[in-house]
Chains A and B, each alone.
Chain A
Amino acid sequence: MSFTRLWQVFAEYHDVLLSGIRVTVVLSVLAMLLAIVVGLLACLGTLARSRLIRAPAVFYVEFCRNTPILVQLVWVHYAWPEIIGYKFDAFTSSLIALALQSSGYLAEEYRAGIESIDKGQIEAAQSLGMTYPRLMRRIVIPQALIRMLPGILNQYVICFKSTSIVSIIAVPDLMYQAGLIVSATFLPMPVYTAVALTYFVLVFIVSASVRYLSRRLPMGGYFQTQQHAAA
């Protein structure tokens, strides 16, 4: 009986659910793209020699990592207007909050990736006359990015799941649409079960691809062989 009701929810409300999925996907992808860029800048900041650059960068990263996403969301949406004198719409606030959170974690991910690059690579580049910015751009970051790919994608999975919280400021994501359907139908069990299953399928597809990709990292084998040969 409950399964028929579950199926009815999908059949009857698939338009609404689909529009919710669209918002969830767009929001998570945009937030992640923003976080990839901001996270890289923050990471380079934490690696800077000048304390004037390093200290604020470290604070930024630690702040992003050590505050809950719900708090960040509410803070951006309701506190920023008074701080910066401009009120973002709910979607933009959500985008900023999600990007904040992810950029902090990504900065750490980048740092670990950059520090994992063998010192000999940097010395070889220096010996060839490359300046620090050039050797970072051409030698270190490309290698680090390949190693960080699984970490970045894992962060995307976390970001995707975190989007469900933006419904509290009325962004019409999947979770928000579910709430609307429940208030119209008074059927919390089948509706929320349908939503849980939808999230599960979407996230599972992403995380399964991450696992697949991690195993067949484009340069994975090369790195191992390289280190083996050097040992």
Chain B
Amino acid sequence: MQQPDPVIRLDKVHKRFGPLEVLRGVDLVVPGSSTVAIIGPSGSGKSTLVRCINYLERIQGGTISVGPVTISAQGLEKSGRKLSGRDIARYRTGIGMVSQSFNLFPHLTVMGNIIEAPTGVLGWSRTDAVEKASALLRQVNLADKADAYPATLSGGQQQRVAIVRSLIMDPKIMLFDEPTSALDPELTGEVLRVIRDLAIGGRTAIIVTHELRFAREVSSHVVFMEGGGIVEEGPPEQVLGDPRETRTRAFIAGIFN
């Protein structure tokens, strides 16, 4: 595998919730334009790890560098300068995040949800935003739902809207935190297809998932986490097909049984 510059690099990252140590010195390198899948039992720290990257969670030790930005226990800095709340908001526009609970804004229509950030944060004109949003909605087969409120949509439809809402910002990085865990099994297929065909598309992506088959299909690198640390990582064929560690074996066997 060729090694382009790492876009995301975690160096001995520590995260605590009170006395509970959720990340115990995690090291991880995510090369540009690659897709990393993180698997592991619940409580292993995989969601927290992803949330630290866009600074929804603070870290207590180590560093996370994302392009020119470095996150540490002291906050965010870029070329020696500490970032303010406004700079942090701008930093986040470059990172799309899709979580398991969709979190569409219930008081806005599908279109309102999608164009809120491009018009309000990036300063696009409404016309441009609506045009781009309509194109994206067509790509996820939801063109007819532009005026619907989120509550009238199925979980799978809501999640596709949430993905479009992130994509319209054209982020360089996409983070997926168990994007299909809240969905009925028959609805996961369409969402996974959108993630694979539209959302990843050449971006640097980290996907936390229990869908091992999907992880194998889309990722170039699989990480198995347990107890706040990385137990094993490597190419998908190896980690998912022929894991070296017994704990990885046990986890994968557990999912398939």
Which one of B89, B120, B155 lies within 8 Å of A126 (CB-CB)? B89
Interface size class of B (residues with CB under 8 A): 35 or more
Q: Does residue A221 face the partner (Cβ distance < 8 Å to B)?
A: yes
Q: How many A-B residue pairs have CB under 8 A?
A: 91
Contact, CB under 8 Å: B121 / A121:
no
Q: Contacting chain A: which of B65-73, B101-109, B136-144, B188-196?
A: B101-109
Measured between beta carbons, the chain B residues less than 8 angstroms from A226 are 104, 106, 150-151
Of chain B, the residue at the smallest CB distance from A139 is B105
Of chain B, the residue at the smallest CB distance from A144 is B107
Contact, CB under 8 Å: B89 / A221:
no
Measured between beta carbons, the chain B residues less than 8 angstroms from A126 are 54, 56, 89, 92
B-contact 0/1 string along A111-138, CB 8 Å cutoff: 0000000101101111111111010001
Of chain B, the residue at the smallest CB distance from A222 is B151
Which one of A128, A129, A230 lies within 8 Å of B102 (CB-CB)? A230
- Known pairs A123-B99, A126-B56, A129-B92; A134 contacts B120 (CB<8 A): yes
CA distance A142 to B86 in the complex (A): 22
CA distance A231 to B184 in the complex (A): 12
Measured between beta carbons, the chain A residues less than 8 angstroms from B120 are 130, 134, 138
Q: Does residue A223 face the partner (Cβ distance < 8 Å to B)?
A: yes
Please give the residue numbers on chain B whose beta carbons come within 8 Å of chain A beta carbons, in ascending order: 54, 56, 85-86, 89-90, 92-93, 95-97, 99, 101-107, 116-117, 120-122, 149-152, 155, 158, 162, 165-166, 169, 182
Please give the residue numbers on chain A whose beta carbons come within 8 Å of chain B beta carbons, in ascending order: 118, 120-121, 123-132, 134, 138-139, 142-143, 146, 219, 221-226, 229-231
